[in-house]
Structure 1
């Protein structure tokens, strides 16, 4: 009973001490937000929490994205970092509790025996022990808060990587369709110009057209031929890029056609304040601010004394035969207070450093919010303007096609010179290429709007929760 009494008193004191915790209270940073995005023309709640790429109805794209989510190395690294963050929290939580150990030692020797008449002897010790540093000022609890915030930040970092990979795959896919279409246009134009060159050559051989017409036809054929290898490079390199995103070796990929793609429906983006709860980069920055704020308490606790309790209970004897006797029983219970007296302001400056670090984290969060609002508005105006631009380019291509047909007929009828034919065919080639390019840009604008809104991959648990919410 005498042994347990000091241990019981120490434990009660330790539990009482845990009510004290220095450092600022963790509070959510407040950033002003507008009631509506500047270029948002669709009212309603956001529909962003879904597998938005499925709106494009492209099975090949769906397959690529799911392969990338499963095998992309950046995602695997982010998942590993979450496990690492949980391990760090486990280490930090262990500091809250007593640390148990043991000490087993033995010795034998013959020290100086002058005047004592003693001979050689030995000693055996078997001593379990306990050490407990009381978290009186909340240093360990603040460390746990920081570790939990780091876990949350790591989880949001994973979501950032997932959304980034999804967007990169979808953007690369539509870029690949763009290159495919431009390559097809270049091939078709080259074949048409080869036929025209053959006709001009026949007419030139018969003296029906001047040499300048032949030279101009040769130039136009070479221009079209030059475009083909450029787009072939674009196709191959984009396939390689997408293969790597999917964690695979470069290979040929199955895909659809750009002209078969249909733009998704208009997107209700919600209100700006919702963005703060949805975008993983903003949540990550917020959690990093919490972590740095919690560490202020850790540095403040270092300015105050630390309290610890030690205890040992075991056996000690100079004779193995008596090691288990009651005379060999020994115990000790003690406590210590260790604190700074004067260190030239080092601990105070350590607190100042951490306060500034937390302030920088807050500024980073505020800057991330402003950038997020800008990215959403930029993406909204891109969607709006690229859609109108595609319509204009389609009208331009239709007119250029008709003009090229009429011009060729006029030339064959001897009503105009070959220069007019060259000009209309050049305009048609450019119109077709520009239409393909702006179509690809239009689809990419939808991708970046989804990304800016924080949409992308959600877990099955989150999807089920969203379906249950009325």
Structure 2
């Protein structure tokens, strides 16, 4: 009866201890996270004339590169998403962060371990050696040699009274989500790089066609000049000028080939293959310049993966302060062990050889020379650093969007004026060629107008390439089709802890 009462009393005390621990664990030391204040403008400064984003816009779908209406670009981006080696490295870092979350969660549960072994020990000064427990007398000395067999099961559970473990999990989760943001930002960056290289390659194709057509026109002009020279209508210097102009333009056409090859090589590496394994055939149709819906500045915080990752690092740094402050409080651990211990293998695992122990323990550092204070100070400084970096990321995001908005708007106006210049140059070229055929102007006048026309045509194509590149950069600055909801993909929802 007495034994039963003692066991009941111990059980009551243990339950009381657990209840107290649970009550205390309702709160955690350290500051709770609050998003740092950001001065967000009501709208972008350069947004005049741009379409506002609505939920049905194409940019919301995620596959933003489809806005360019180019099937080959879509295929290349799909290959990049699967085979790019830098993305593979970023994805491996993401999985490392996910494993850290699982490790932090495991600290909430008891740990179990088992041990089985045999030990042999001796005491005394005798020289005789025996293999079983015995006492030997030799020359007045005694030697005791014993052998013990042990089999035990040990359990340990650290109660999260002050919230240290929960802050650790909070920090790991924030680091995991920051890693997910880094992965998304890297993917968006490489997608943007590929799209820019591909669009520039297509613009070079159009420039190549322009130069090839110009070379053909200059070849006809040279033939006409040679015929006029043989007829005594024009001097030989006109023939030399026509040939110089033809060869110079041929050299410009050849020069484009290495530029195109380099872009093709860059695309090959982005999709994860060697340059020898990828060839992109020239074609006549240029990708379309898309209409890009522009979100509000406040939405940029939810659409930019790099900004979201920067904020998650602030959350992690905030939780680290709680971990550092928890070091000032004692750790409560409940330990239990039990098993069998005997000196004979034959009757090792029998009831008389059984042992067990259970009980709580408190551990607390009384003096550490200021190490804990220094650690709290360090974590607070790290938090301030990550807040500043987060705010800078937001400011950089606002600046990038403003830059590309004004760049696209101004270049659109420039393109309209440049197109007028192209049409005027074409008309001037047509008139001057007719005058030369009629013998009213010299060939030097024709060469000047031809060079002006070609330069204007190439400038118009270069401007189109710049507009296409700026459109990609604007989409990337707006976060592509990404949203903050994608920080934890569906496959990883089990990593969340409510």
Q: 1:172 to 1:459 in 2, by over 3 A?
A: farther
CA distance in 1, matches of 2:87, 2:70: 23
SS at match of 2:123: coil
Residue in 2 that maps onto 1:76: 88
Encode CA deviations 1:272-300: one digit per residue, 9 max, x unaligned.
Answer: 11111111111111111101111111112
The worse-fitting range, judged by mean Cα deviation, of 390-399 and 212-221 is 212-221
Q: How does 1:31-430 map to 2 (within 5 A)?
A: 31-40=38-47, 41-42=49-50, 44-46=52-54, 47=57, 48-50=59-61, 51-112=63-124, 120-204=145-229, 207-250=232-275, 251-254=278-281, 256-258=283-285, 260-265=286-291, 267-430=292-455
Superposed displacement of residue 318, structure 1: 1.5
Superposed displacement of residue 220, structure 1: 1.4
SS at match of 1:49: helix
Residue in 2 that maps onto 1:453: 478
Contact 1:166 1:456 in 2 (8 A): no
Q: 1:441 to 1:7 in 2, by over 3 A?
A: same
Superposed displacement of residue 365, structure 1: 0.9
Contact 1:69 1:75 in 2 (8 A): yes
The worse-fitting range, judged by mean Cα deviation, of 125-134 and 248-257 is 248-257
CA distance in 1, matches of 2:473, 2:32: 37
Q: 1:460 to 1:58 in 2, by over 3 A?
A: farther
Q: 1:44 to 1:199 in 2, by over 3 A?
A: closer
Contact 1:313 1:331 in 2 (8 A): yes
Contact 2:50 2:294 in 1 (8 A): yes
Encode CA deviations 1:76-118: one digit per residue, 9 max, x unaligned.
Answer: 2332222221110111111222211122221234432578977
Q: 1:246 to 1:456 in 2, by over 3 A?
A: farther
Residue in 1 that maps onto 2:32: 25
Contact 2:29 2:322 in 1 (8 A): yes
CA RMSD of aligned residues (A): 2.7
Aligned positions, number? 461
The worse-fitting range, judged by mean Cα deviation, of 189-198 and 124-133 is 189-198
> Which TM-score applies when normalising by structure 2?
0.85
Q: 1:12 to 1:239 in 2, by over 3 A?
A: same
CA distance in 2, matches of 1:108, 1:340: 37
- In structure 1, stretches of 5+ residues that fail to align are 466-470
Contact 1:162 1:457 in 2 (8 A): no
CA distance in 2, matches of 1:123, 1:31: 68
CA distance in 1, matches of 2:232, 2:53: 72
CA distance in 2, matches of 1:437, 1:119: 96
Contact 1:61 1:255 in 2 (8 A): no
Q: 1:110 to 1:79 in 2, by over 3 A?
A: closer
CA distance in 2, matches of 1:244, 1:440: 22
CA distance in 2, matches of 1:428, 1:92: 68
Encode CA deviations 1:52-97: one digit per residue, 9 max, x unaligned.
Answer: 3223222222222222222222332332222221110111111222
- In structure 2, stretches of 5+ residues that fail to align are 125-134, 491-498
CA distance in 2, matches of 1:388, 1:452: 22
CA distance in 1, matches of 2:484, 2:294: 21
